[in-house]
C-alpha cells in the first residue's frame, strides 16, 4: 500500500521570525480545526493561550531556526473574531503561510515593524509587551462590541496575537485586516488625528516611496474626500459609534488612516506596464508591484478571486471592507480606504505626563494632541466630518 506524499510546507522567508510566524499560524489553525466551536466563549477563553516549543534537529534548517517557541494568545477568542469578520480560517492560513509576508517601509511609531501578507489582505505588526497587556485588558469589551456591531466597524479587526521566541528573544505580533485594498494600489496616504500641532510629515518621511502624510499636509494639499450622502451617512454613523466605544475604554491617540486610489492613474500605469511588457518580453520583467499581486508558483489561484474579474476601480466589498467609491460628480474618480488604526494607547500616567509637559510648552488652550479621551474623540469626529464633502 503506497502513501500519497504530503507536500511539506517549508515556510521560506528572508527573516527567521517570519518563518516562525508562518509555521506557528499554520500549526495553530491546524490544531484549531480539531477543536469544536463552542456555543459561547467562556471567561477563561479570554485568559487562555497555547504554547509550543520546537527543537528542530537538522530538519528544514535552511528556513527555520533550530530552536524556537510559539505562543498564541486567546486562540478561541480570535477564532471567533475571525468568524465574525467573515474570514475563513483556511483562507487566513493560506494568506499568512503560502508565501512569506513582505516588509513595508513604513516604520510605525516606536519603530513598530509592519509586514503585509503576500496577498495584501492582512497586516502583521510587531508590538510591545505593553500592547499585549492592553489588548488583554480590552479584549472582552472589544469582542462584545464586535458582536453588537456585527463586525461592521472602522476600528482594527484583530485576527490573531502571538509571541515568538527565537534565540531567547521574545517578539510579539498582532495580525489585522489590511485597511488598504488588496488589489488597488494607493498612491497617497494620510494619518489623521484632528490635531494640528506638529502634525506634518517629516522630510525623512516625504523621501519615502509612499510617505504617510498628516493633518497639516492634508489641509495644505487642499485634499478632500468626496463621497455621496449615503456613504457619508453610513461612514459617520460607524465612526461615531466606534469613537464613543474607544472613549468609554479611555483609549485615545488613534488615527484615521486614509488611502487614496486614483482609478485613471492606475489604468494609465497598467497600460504603460503592458506596453513595457510587450517591448521587454525577453528580460522576464514580471515583478510589477501595483495592480494585482502575484500568487506564488504552483498555488491554485485564490478561491475568493475566482468570481468575475473586476473592472478598473471596482472592488469586492467583502474583502476590501474599508473601501468607499468617490462621488459620481467628483473631479477625479477615486477609491478611498478609510479605517481607524492604533487603538492600543490607554490614557494612563504616560499620557498625563505628556499632557502636563505640552500644556507648559504650548499654553492651555492650544490644540495639542494630548488631551483626554473624551476631548480627543470629539475633536477627532469634528475634524473627520469637516473633510468629507
253 a catalytic residue: yes
| C-alpha–C-alpha distance, residues 31 and 155, integer Å | 28
Contacts (Cβ under 8 Å, ≥6 apart) of 185: 261, 266, 289, 290, 291
SS3 179: coil
| Alpha helix positions (H), 164-262 | 203-206, 215-220, 229-248
Q: Label the pairing between strands 212-214 and 188-192.
A: parallel
| C-alpha–C-alpha distance, residues 267 and 102, integer Å | 25
Q: How far apart are the first and last CA of the chain?
A: 69
- Write down the catalytic residue from 217, 253, 320, 342: 253
Grid cell in block for residue 315: 472592488
Residue 217: exposure state from Cβ atoms within 10 A (0-12, 13-18, ≥19): buried
- Write down the catalytic residue from 71, 119, 125, 333: 125
Which residue in 25, 336, 17 sits closest to 172, CA to CA?
A: 17
140 a catalytic residue: no
Instruction: Identify whether the C-beta of residue 316 lies closer than 8 Å to the C-beta of residue 159.
Output: no
Q: How many residues does the chain have?
A: 389
| C-alpha–C-alpha distance, residues 236 and 219, integer Å | 20
**Which residues are the active-site residues?**
125, 253
Amino acid at each position: 500500500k503506497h502513501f500519497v506524499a504530503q507536500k511539506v510546507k517549508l515556510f521560506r522567508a528572508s527573516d527567521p521570525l517570519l518563518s516562525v510566524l508562518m509555521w506557528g499560524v499554520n500549526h495553530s489553525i491546524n490544531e484549531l480545526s480539531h477543536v469544536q466551536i463552542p456555543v459561547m466563549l467562556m471567561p477563561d477563553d479570554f485568559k487562555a493561550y497555547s504554547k509550543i516549543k520546537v527543537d528542530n534537529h537538522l530538519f528544514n534548517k535552511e528556513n527555520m531556526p533550530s530552536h524556537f517557541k510559539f505562543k498564541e494568545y486567546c486562540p478561541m477568542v480570535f477564532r471567533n473574531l475571525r468568524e465574525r469578520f467573515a474570514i475563513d480560517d483556511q483562507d487566513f492560513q493560506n494568506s499568512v503561510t503560502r508565501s512569506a509576508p513582505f516588509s513595508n517601509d513604513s516604520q510605525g511609531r516606536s519603530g513598530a515593524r509592519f509586514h503585509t501578507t503576500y496577498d495584501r489582505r492582512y497586516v502583521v505588526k510587531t508590538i510591545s509587551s505593553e500592547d499585549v497587556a492592553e489588548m488583554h485588558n480590552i479584549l472582552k469589551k472589544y469582542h462584545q462590541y464586535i458582536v453588537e456591531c456585527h463586525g461592521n466597524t472602522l476600528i482594527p479587526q484583530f485576527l490573531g496575537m502571538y509571541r515568538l521566541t527565537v534565540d531567547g528573544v521574545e517578539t510579539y505580533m498582532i495580525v489585522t485586516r489590511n485597511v488598504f485594498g488588496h488589489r488597488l494600489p494607493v498612491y497617497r496616504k494620510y494619518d489623521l488625528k484632528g490635531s494640528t500641532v506638529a502634525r506634518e510629515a517629516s522630510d525623512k518621511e516625504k523621501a519615502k516611496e509612499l510617505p504617510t502624510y498628516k493633518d497639516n499636509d492634508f489641509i495644505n494639499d487642499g485634499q478632500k474626500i468626496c463621497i455621496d450622502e449615503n456613504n457619508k451617512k453610513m461612514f459617520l454613523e460607524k465612526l461615531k459609534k466606534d469613537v464613543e466605544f474607544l472613549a468609554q475604554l479611555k483609549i485615545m491617540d488613534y488615527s484615521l488612516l486614509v488611502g487614496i486610489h486614483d482609478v485613471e492613474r492606475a489604468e494609465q500605469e497598467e497600460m504603460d506596464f503592458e506596453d513595457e511588457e510587450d517591448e521587454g518580453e525577453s528580460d522576464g520583467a514580471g515583478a510589477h508591484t501595483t495592480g494585482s499581486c502575484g500568487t506564488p508558483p504552483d498555488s491554485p489561484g485564490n478561491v475568493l478571486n475566482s468570481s468575475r474579474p473586476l473592472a478598473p476601480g471596482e472592488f469586492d466589498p467583502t474583502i476590501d471592507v474599508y473601501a468607499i467609491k468617490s462621488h459620481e460628480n467628483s473631479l477625479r474618480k477615486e477609491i478611498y480606504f478609510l479605517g481607524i488604526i492604533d487603538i492600543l494607547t490607554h490614557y494612563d500616567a504616560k499620557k498625563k505626563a505628556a499632557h502636563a509637559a505640552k500644556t507648559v510648552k504650548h499654553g492651555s488652550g492650544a490644540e495639542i494632541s494630548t488631551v483626554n479621551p473624551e476631548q480627543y474623540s470629539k475633536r477627532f469626529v469634528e475634524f473627520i466630518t469637516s473633510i468629507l464633502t
